[in-house]
Structure 1
Amino acid sequence: MFKEAIEAAKLIKNAFDTAEKLKDDIDRLKELGESNMKAMELAQIAINLQNLVFSLQRNLWTLETNHRSLEDKIRQYETFEVEKDKYAPHQCASGAVVYRPIQPIHDAEGNVIVHYLCANCYEQHKKSILQPGEIVDSHRTLKCHCCSSVVLYERIECLVETIGSRHAIDWSDY
């Protein structure tokens, strides 16, 4: 890629040199009294060369930009590959799959920090920590703020207290 960029730069320099030479030739032709037609042809050639130079410069800039972008993506993938080895899939009680750390992570006070990563984002080489969400279908949920996926995390058991009485309850005061 860099070799191509250097070759493009050499072409640009040669085109500028040729354009300068053509300009000098045009000036000499005018001094010698050559026909205006020949001078106009050479001027047109110089203009075409300048357009070619600008086109080559634009192409070189595009190549350099694409190269930087690809290098950034490679660095991101390499970084993610290192992080990826620190997590393993975990199946929640609801059957949903998330990723969690293989080794526990501790805060400054020594407490274990429990966190889960979104499986959808993880498969796309993104690290998105799931956040507590709303209760859905008697389940606590975890929500991904990157892709908006919702994971049914833990079932909430509802205990209903029944009143054992033979008498009817008067609900009118409530």
Structure 2
Amino acid sequence: MDLSLIQGTISGLKVAGDIAKGLLELKTLSEVQGKVIELQSAILSAQGNALSANADQSAMVEEIRALKEEIARVKAWDTQKQRYKLVQPWSAGVAYALIESMSNSEPPHLICTNCYEIGRKSILNPVEDSQKWVHYACPVCKAQIPTGYRGGVTPQYAAD
């Protein structure tokens, strides 16, 4: 938050107070009207500074909320990624496999190395090409790992 906005608000209110006190000493209507205009100007300036400070505060509150969400997401991913181990299930590529002792009764599966590196869990899906060769594909980044096999190929848990 810009401290000059707060100082400007306080200063504007002090000026408005001084002008209001000065109104009591005026004798003619034209002097009073001139001071009223001056008072209104000081009040509007203070109000503008207060609104700007409020907008800055709202922006900071939103930024703090977004940062807290990001911290929570990173902490959750740190916990999640400990459940996987880098393996080479077939000679043509690597993936992260679920560690059996950390499976929490989830079935064995592989997750994409590209997505893992950017903090995202994306389960690789088996896909057969037109010649029945099986490869595992990431639905998010489209990375593929050929298995070198035709027909059903089942992922295994990673050893502890």
TM-score normalised by structure 2 residue count: 0.70
Instruction: Provide Cα deviations, 1:55-92, integer angstroms capped at 9, x if missing partner.
Output: 11010011011111111111111111111111111124
User: What amino acid does structure 2 have at the position aligned with 1:59?
Assistant: D
Which of these two proteins has the greater Rg computed from alpha carbons? 1
- The answer as to 2:58 corresponding to 1:61 is yes
User: What amino acid does structure 2 have at the position aligned with 1:85?
Assistant: Q
Taking the TM superposition and a 5 Å limit, the aligned residue runs for 1:116-127 are 116-127=110-121
For residues 116 and 32 of structure 2, the distance between their equivalents in structure 1, rounded to whole angstroms, comes to 72
1:29 Cα deviation after fit: 2.5
- The answer as to 2:110 corresponding to 1:113 is no
- Residue identity over aligned pairs, in percent, reads 23
For residues 98 and 67 of structure 2, the distance between their equivalents in structure 1, rounded to whole angstroms, comes to 29
For residues 23 and 145 of structure 1, the distance between their equivalents in structure 2, rounded to whole angstroms, comes to 66
1:101 Cα deviation after fit: 1.4
Match of 1:170 in 2: none
For residues 41 and 135 of structure 1, the distance between their equivalents in structure 2, rounded to whole angstroms, comes to 81
TM-score normalised by structure 1 residue count: 0.65
Q: Find the residue that maps to 1:113 and give its secondary structure.
A: coil
- How many residues get paired? 146
Match of 2:34 in 1: 37
1:132 Cα deviation after fit: 2.2
Q: Find the residue that maps to 2:96 and give its secondary structure.
A: strand
Taking the TM superposition and a 5 Å limit, the aligned residue runs for 1:18-33 are 19=13, 22=16, 25-26=19-20, 29=23, 32=26, 33=29
Q: Find the residue that maps to 1:39 and give its secondary structure.
A: helix
For residues 134 and 30 of structure 1, the distance between their equivalents in structure 2, rounded to whole angstroms, comes to 91
Counterpart among 135, 153, 164 of residue 146 in structure 2: 153
Q: Which of structures 1 and 2 has the larger relative contact order (alpha carbons within 8 angstroms, sep 6+)?
A: 2
1:52 Cα deviation after fit: 0.9
For residues 131 and 143 of structure 2, the distance between their equivalents in structure 1, rounded to whole angstroms, comes to 12
User: What amino acid does structure 2 have at the position aligned with 1:118?
Assistant: C
1:139 Cα deviation after fit: 3.4
Cα RMSD after superposing both structures: 3.5
For residues 136 and 150 of structure 2, the distance between their equivalents in structure 1, rounded to whole angstroms, comes to 17
Contact kept? 1:115, 1:129, Cα under 8 Å = yes
For residues 130 and 25 of structure 2, the distance between their equivalents in structure 1, rounded to whole angstroms, comes to 89
1:145 Cα deviation after fit: 2.2
1:102 Cα deviation after fit: 2.1
For residues 90 and 38 of structure 2, the distance between their equivalents in structure 1, rounded to whole angstroms, comes to 81
Instruction: Provide Cα deviations, 1:33-63, integer angstroms capped at 9, x if missing partner.
Output: 4253343233222111111111110100110
1:141 Cα deviation after fit: 2.0
For residues 70 and 136 of structure 1, the distance between their equivalents in structure 2, rounded to whole angstroms, comes to 47
